Chain A
Amino acid sequence: MLKEIHKCSPCDGSFATKVEYVAHKCPVTGHNPAEIEHQDALTDGAFSKTSEKALERGALRKGEETHPAAGK
Chain B
Amino acid sequence: MDNFKLSTMEIKTYFKDGFAATVEIDERNGAPAGTLTHNITNTNMGSTEAVNLNPVTNPVIAGDNTYEKWQKIDVTAMGGSSEIDNLQVWRTGALGGSAVHVTNARTSSYGGAETYATPIVTDSTLATQTMPSSDPAAANLGIGGSLTGSITSAGSSDYLIHQIQTNSADVAGSTSTMNYQYDETA
Interface residues of A (CB under 8 A from B): 2-10, 18, 21-22, 33-39, 42, 47-48, 50-52, 54-55, 57-59, 61-62
Contact = CB atoms under 8 A, between A and B. Distances in A.
Contacts of A22: 76-77, 154
8 contacts: A5-B35, A9-B41, A33-B39, A34-B154, A35-B77, A39-B22, A54-B182, A58-B183
Contacts of A33: 22, 24, 38-39, 76
Given A8-B38, A9-B38, A51 B20 contact: yes
A55 B81 CA distance: 9
Nearest to B28: A4
Contacts of B52: 9
B39 to A, nearest CB: 5
Interface in B83-117: 83-86
Given A8-B37, A54-B21, 17 more contacts: A2-B32, A7-B35, A9-B38, A10-B41, A22-B77, A33-B24, A33-B38, A36-B22, A37-B17, A54-B20, A55-B81, A55-B184, A55-B185, A55-B186, A58-B86, A58-B185, A59-B186
Contacts of A8: 37-39
A42 B22 CA distance: 13
B59 interface: no
A23 to B, nearest CB: 10
B33 interface: yes
A7 B38 contact: yes
A7 B22 contact: no
B171 interface: no
Nearest to B16: A36
A28 to B, nearest CB: 10
Contacts of B34: 4-5
Given A4-B35, A9-B39, A35-B22, A51 B184 contact: yes
B79 interface: yes
